[in-house]
């Protein structure tokens, strides 16, 4: 393994005020080296550190996931590494070619077609003749945007831009590949293609990945860097990084008041092995979960238990009507959900009640964490035959 990137004591400041930001920027350019020396520790009014003393190294073959809340400084760090932004203090040493996809438009001219943009990019990379033709053909093949390749980029959907951008950046076989939220866009088929391309490239390069999807981190990263307000608060094992990040997200997540509709008319709880789990509590991976509730309405109701990923979409729903089960007025009911074999992380459960076809309540959201080692609980074994 060889070291491809060294980030040492990097600081970057921004100003919250646009006018002040332009003025300070001009002053810094004129004061040159002096500003570099004074940069650390000196903040003018309205300025703040978007990155404070960031250090890490990246080896060939390594995939590093940069994690953090919105505004933690992830994109700023990637832009500094890519040379798109000048950092105020510290040093960034790159050994090798860089490919990056920092924004969806990825520096494409909106009025030029995809093909023309790729041709210009290829030429800027020093390609000509057959080599340039190969590059354009390879990008066109990977992006799979068909006739849009010959349409102006301004008519592309965000998914198409990300396809073209990823294809353009990953086809040059860079030494360091920087991807900022690229895999958030695009359909599953394209994401799978991106995964295999990254798996292929990582043998010879280093990848820095910014994503809010912990699935991507778990699937691809060898290490994680967790940023909070511009500071590195964790560096190391990705699973540990994911847990710390999710804990931080969960602690800062505020449930919106007003989301519940007549919550006083329903009560429910989560139980594991007869014991009630407290809101925000933890459930071991693989433990059988039961929801118990009481109908405080005057009429009989059908109920749905809905399971959500934290901040994400519904991933399961159990509806009593499908079992032809109705909860009578003032009756207690239970729904045995069984083991929730979900990746460790935070989830939400809510209860919805229906009187006939009409929704009559939505409960408060119950938050819990699936804890434990996901992988240890899966048993693989050989079997005699396929069918
Ligand atoms: N050009 C700018 N001028 C002033 N402040 C900026 C500028 N760009 C970003 N910031 C601020 O710097 C901080 C870090 O921003 P950055 O975009 O790096 O965060 P991030 O971790 O990438 O967030 P997200 O997950 O939302 O993309 C934020 O407070 C942001 O508002």
Mean pLDDT across 146-153: 93
The residue among 211 and 206 whose pLDDT is bigger is: 206
**CA–CA–CA angle 216, 221, 227 (5° rounding):** 90
Nearest CA to ligand 1 atom 26: 70
372 CA → ligand 1 middle, Å: 33
CATH number for 263-371 (one of 3.30.70.1280, 3.30.70.1290, 2.70.50.60, 2.40.50.180): it is: 2.70.50.60
**CA–CA–CA angle 104, 109, 113 (5° rounding):** 100
Residues of the chain with CATH 3.40.50.300: 3-252
Q: Read off φ and ψ for residue 287, nearest 5 degrees.
A: -75, 140
The residue among 262 and 160 whose pLDDT is bigger is: 160
The answer to whether residues 302 and 353 touch, using CB atoms and an 8 Å cutoff, is: yes
Question: Which of 71, 79, 181 is the best mutation target for the ligand 1 pocket, counting ligand atoms within 8 Å of the beta carbon and taking the most?
Answer: 71
Is any ligand 1 atom within 6 A of the Cβ of residue 102? no
317 pLDDT higher than 80: yes
What's the confidence (pLDDT) of residue 25? 66
Is any ligand 1 atom within 6 A of the Cβ of residue 100? no
102 pLDDT higher than 90: no
What's the confidence (pLDDT) of residue 257? 34
Residue with tokens 């809010």: 212
Q: What is the C-alpha separation between 165 and 357, in angstroms, rounded?
A: 47
What's the confidence (pLDDT) of residue 251? 57
The answer to whether residues 366 and 249 touch, using CB atoms and an 8 Å cutoff, is: no
Share of the chain above pLDDT 90, in %: 26
What's the confidence (pLDDT) of residue 345? 80
- pLDDT tens digits, 9-43: 999 988 877 776 677 666 665 655 444 444 455 77
75 CA → ligand 1 middle, Å: 7
- Interface confidence: ipTM more than 0.95: yes
Q: Strand pairing of 366-371 and 282-284?
A: parallel
Q: Which residues pair with 362 in a beta bridge?
A: 261, 352
Nearest CA to ligand 1 atom 4: 14
76 CA → ligand 1 middle, Å: 6
Q: How confident is the model at residue 131 (pLDDT cuts 50, 70, 90)?
A: very high
111 pLDDT higher than 60: yes
72 CA → ligand 1 middle, Å: 7
Concatenating the DSSP letter of every residue in 126-185 gives T--HHHHHHHHHHHHHHH--GGGGGSBGGG--HHHHHHHHHHHHHTT--SEEEEESGGGS
Mean pLDDT across 128-153: 93
What's the confidence (pLDDT) of residue 5? 92
Name the average pLDDT for the chain: 82
278 pLDDT higher than 50: yes
What's the confidence (pLDDT) of residue 28? 60
Is any ligand 1 atom within 6 A of the Cβ of residue 160? no
Q: How confident is the model at residue 256 (pLDDT cuts 50, 70, 90)?
A: very low
3-state per-residue secondary structure call for 352-383: EEEECCEEEEECCCEEEEEECCCHHHCCCCCC
Question: Which of 70, 76, 178 is the best mutation target for the ligand 1 pocket, counting ligand atoms within 8 Å of the beta carbon and taking the most?
Answer: 76
Residues of the chain with CATH 2.70.50.60: 263-371
Question: Which of 10, 13, 14 is the best mutation target for the ligand 1 pocket, counting ligand atoms within 8 Å of the beta carbon and taking the most?
Answer: 14
CATH number for 3-252 (one of 3.40.50.410, 3.40.1650.10, 3.40.50.300, 2.30.130.10): it is: 3.40.50.300
């Amino acid at each position: 393994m060889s070291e491809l990137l060294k980030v040492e004591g990097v600081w970057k400041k921004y100003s919250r005020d646009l006018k002040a930001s332009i003025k300070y920027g001009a002053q810094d350019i004129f004061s040159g080296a002096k500003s570099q020396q004074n940069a650390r520790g000196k903040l003018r009014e309205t300025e703040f550190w978007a990155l404070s003393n960031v250090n890490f190294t990246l080896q060939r073959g390594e995939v590093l996931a940069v994690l953090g809340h919105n505004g933690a400084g992830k994109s700023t760090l990637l832009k500094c590494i890519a040379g798109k932004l000048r950092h105020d203090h510290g040093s960034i040493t790159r050994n090798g070619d860089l490919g990056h996809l920092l924004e969806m438009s990825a520096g494409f001219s909106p009025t030029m077609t995809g093909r023309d943009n790729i041709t210009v990019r290829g030429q800027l990379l020093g390609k000509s003749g057959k080599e340039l033709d190969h590059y354009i053909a390879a990008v066109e093949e990977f992006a799979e945007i068909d006739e849009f390749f010959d349409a102006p980029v301004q008519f592309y959907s965000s998914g198409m831009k990300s396809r073209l951008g990823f294809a353009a950046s990953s086809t040059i076989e860079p030494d360091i590949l920087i991807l900022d939220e690229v895999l958030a866009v695009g359909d599953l088929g394209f994401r799978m293609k991106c995964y295999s391309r990254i798996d292929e490239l990582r043998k010879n390069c280093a990848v820095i990945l910014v994503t809010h999807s912990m699935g991507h981190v778990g699937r691809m990263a060898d290490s994680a860097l967790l940023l909070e307000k511009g500071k590195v608060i964790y560096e190391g094992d990705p699973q540990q990084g994911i847990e710390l990040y999710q804990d931080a997200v969960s602690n800062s997540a505020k449930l919106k008041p007003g989301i519940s509709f007549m919550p006083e008319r329903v009560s429910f709880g989560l139980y594991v092995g007869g014991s009630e789990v407290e809101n925000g509590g933890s459930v071991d991976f693989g433990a059988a979960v039961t929801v118990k509730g009481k109908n405080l309405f005057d009429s009989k109701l059908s109920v749905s238990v809905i399971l959500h990923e934290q901040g994400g979409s519904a991933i399961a729903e159990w509806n009593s009507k499908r079992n032809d089960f109705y909860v009578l007025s003032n009756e207690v009911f239970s729904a045995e959900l069984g083991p929730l074999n979900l990746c460790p992380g935070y989830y939400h459960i809510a209860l919805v009640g229906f009187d006939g076809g009409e929704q009559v309540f939505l409960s408060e959201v119950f938050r819990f964490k699936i804890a434990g080692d996901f992988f240890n609980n899966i048993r693989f074994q050989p079997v005699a035959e396929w069918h």
